[in-house]
């Protein structure tokens, strides 16, 4: 009886997901399986693809719906002919939002880098995906994962094609910018707001300038007046007080949509990914 109920529940989730334009999939990883969301463009493929890493809040809203930012980007990129795979690093491990957690067990620079690699390998096993045309993208903590994953000293151990390029929205750059060994092995675009008081732009500016001085293809775009989460489709500007690692040390940060920055970022990301 319980099995029948579980199967019915899974079928309902799958139907709801298909109606929303994505598919719920399972991705083998180093410690089990990752739940993930897959958006596929229309047609037979093979398609270029993006592995998209969520921020500290995870993929889902409290009502079980895919968060607005992730559904917006998934739909937008898939309509542009790019497949999008979004692995759920937290929910897959029975964890909720990690925004207020100081001692993380699923770290941006370790476990989530492994999740990104597992997602890339899973995509490369499919005949409808171009194995040599997969980019890595992430927001906030997921953006920090992007920076850690593309370091020159962390080349993939597998023999498959590497990520082709990377995009990081408002990552925490301090750790990488202070590391004497950081060097980007892939073309990278970082997008941030100069009013971000959660992950400030200054460390990313230092990182990008040092990378370019070494001849690396690292572009930083800083939007005047834009806050953390500026690319969200509709997030009213508000102060959050549940942040474990805010730049001010108060546990508070201001977030919200910036329409001009969002529109420009969409254009830049699409143009950047056309190079896949």
What is the C-alpha to C-alpha distance for residues 262 and 258, in angstroms, rounded to an integer?
6
Contact 26, 35 (CB under 8 A): yes
The CATH code of the domain that includes 90 is 3.40.50.1820
In DSSP notation, the chain reads: -HHHHHHHHHHHHHHHHHHHT-EEEEEEETTEEEEEEEE--SSS--EEEEEEE--TT-SB-TTSPBPHHHHHHHHHHHHTT-EEEEE-TTGGGT----TT-SS-SS-TTTHHHHHHHHHHHHHHT-TTEEEEEEEEEEETHHHHHHHHHTBGGG--SSSSPPP--EEEES---HHHHT-TT--BSS-EEEEEETT-SSS-SHHHHHHHHHHHHTT--EEEEEETT--BTTT-SS---EEE---TT-TTSSS-EEE---HHHHHHHHHHHHHHHTT-
- Dmax over Cα atoms in the chain, in whole Å? 64
| Residue 3 confidence (pLDDT) | 41
Contact 261, 230 (CB under 8 A): yes
Domain residue limits at 150: 21-273
What is the C-alpha to C-alpha distance for residues 77 and 272, in angstroms, rounded to an integer?
12
Residue 171 forms part of a structural domain: yes
Residue 49 has pLDDT above 50, yes or no: yes
Which of 155, 92, 160, 149 is closest to 125 using CA atoms? 160
Residue 4 forms part of a structural domain: no
Residue 80 forms part of a structural domain: yes
Residues in CB range of 194: below 8 A, 6 or more apart: 201, 222, 223, 224, 225, 226
Residue 5 forms part of a structural domain: no
pLDDT tens across 146-183, in order?
999 999 999 988 889 999 999 999 999 998 977 778 99
Residue 267 forms part of a structural domain: yes
Read off the pLDDT band of 15 (50, 70, 90). Answer: very low
Read off the pLDDT band of 5 (50, 70, 90). Answer: very low
Could you tell me the pTM of the whole model?
Answer: 0.92
* Number of domains composing the chain: 1
Vertex 169 angle, CA 141 and 239, to 5°: 70
Question: What is the dihedral sign for C-alpha 36, 40, 45, 47?
Answer: negative
* Residues in the chain, total: 276
Residue 6 forms part of a structural domain: no
Residue 2 forms part of a structural domain: no
| Residue 18 confidence (pLDDT) | 55
| Residue 20 confidence (pLDDT) | 59
Residue 9 forms part of a structural domain: no
């Amino acid at each position: 009886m319980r099995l029948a109920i579980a199967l019915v529940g899974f079928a309902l989730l799958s139907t709801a997901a298909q109606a929303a334009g994505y598919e719920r999939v399972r991705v083998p990883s180093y410690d089990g399986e990752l739940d993930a969301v897959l958006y596929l463009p229309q047609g037979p493929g093979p398609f270029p693809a993006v592995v998209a890493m969520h921020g500290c809040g995870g993929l889902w809203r409290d009502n079980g719906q895919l968060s607005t930012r992730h559904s917006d980007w998934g739909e937008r990129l898939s309509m542009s002919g790019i497949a999008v795979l979004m692995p759920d690093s937290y929910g897959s491990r029975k964890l909720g939002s990690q925004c207020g957690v100081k001692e993380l067990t699923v770290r941006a620079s370790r476990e989530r880098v492994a999740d990104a690699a597992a997602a890339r390998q899973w995509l490369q096993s499919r005949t409808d995906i171009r194995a040599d045309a997969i980019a890595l993208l992430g927001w906030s903590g997921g953006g920090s994962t992007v920076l850690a994953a593309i370091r020159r000293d962390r080349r993939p151990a597998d023999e498959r094609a590497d990520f082709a390029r990377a995009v990081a929205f408002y990552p925490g750059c301090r750790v990488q910018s202070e590391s004497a060994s950081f060097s980007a092995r892939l073309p990278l675009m970082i997008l941030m707001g100069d009013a971000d008081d959660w992950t400030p732009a200054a460390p990313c500016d230092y990182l990008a300038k040092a990378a370019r001085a070494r001849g690396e293809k690292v572009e930083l775009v800083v939007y005047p007046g834009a806050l953390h989460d500026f690319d969200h489709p509709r997030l009213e500007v508000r102060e959050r007080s549940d942040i474990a690692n805010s730049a001010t040390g108060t546990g508070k940060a201001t977030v919200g949509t910036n329409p001009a920055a969002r529109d420009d970022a969409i254009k830049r990301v699409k143009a950047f990914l056309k190079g896949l």
